[in-house]
Amino acid sequence: MKNEKKEQIWAFHNEIPAEQMPTWKSRRIKAYGDGMMLVENEFASGETAADHSHPHTQIMYIIEGKIETTVDGETRILGAGDAVYVRPDTVHGLRALEETRMLDIFSPMREDFLA
């Protein structure tokens, strides 16, 4: 059944279950509304998010750890405090080089994540 909730104003970490992902540790969908969405992802060393694209603008912000990420064919290593902007419909993916926790900010919100 699809989640019909159109916004989540308050996001308390301990109240949001970690959703297990196919190729990485977990995802927590935090605060969101029509205009944007905040998602927290956790990766174990070596885990990946395969190359993909979507019509949403995205910013990835590394809270802790280190990733190797490729955006539109350019590969860089990002660590704690680093961020990258991903334009809509741009191919991007990542590989965790160590245990990593990061935030993804999407605009507009990823309604597909609420399905």
What is the residue range of 106's domain?
23-114
Any domain includes 12: no
DSSP assignment of 8-61 = B----GGGSPPBP-SSSSEEEEEEEETTEEEEEEEE-TT-EEEEE--SSEEEEE
Any domain includes 101: yes
Q: How far is CA 61 from CA 70, 89, 115, in A?
A: 14, 19, 24
pLDDT in tens, the chain (115 residues): 345 678 999 999 999 999 999 999 999 999 999 899 999 999 999 999 999 999 999 999 999 999 999 999 999 999 999 999 999 999 999 999 999 999 999 999 999 999 8
Any domain includes 3: no
Any domain includes 7: no
Look at residue 1 in the predicted model and tell me its pLDDT. Answer: 37
Any domain includes 100: yes
What's the CATH code of the domain at 87? 2.60.120.10
Any domain includes 4: no
Tally the domains of the chain: 1
Any domain includes 40: yes
Instruction: Determine the length of the chain.
Output: 115
Look at residue 4 in the predicted model and tell me its pLDDT. Answer: 63
State whether residue 27 is helix, strand or coil: strand
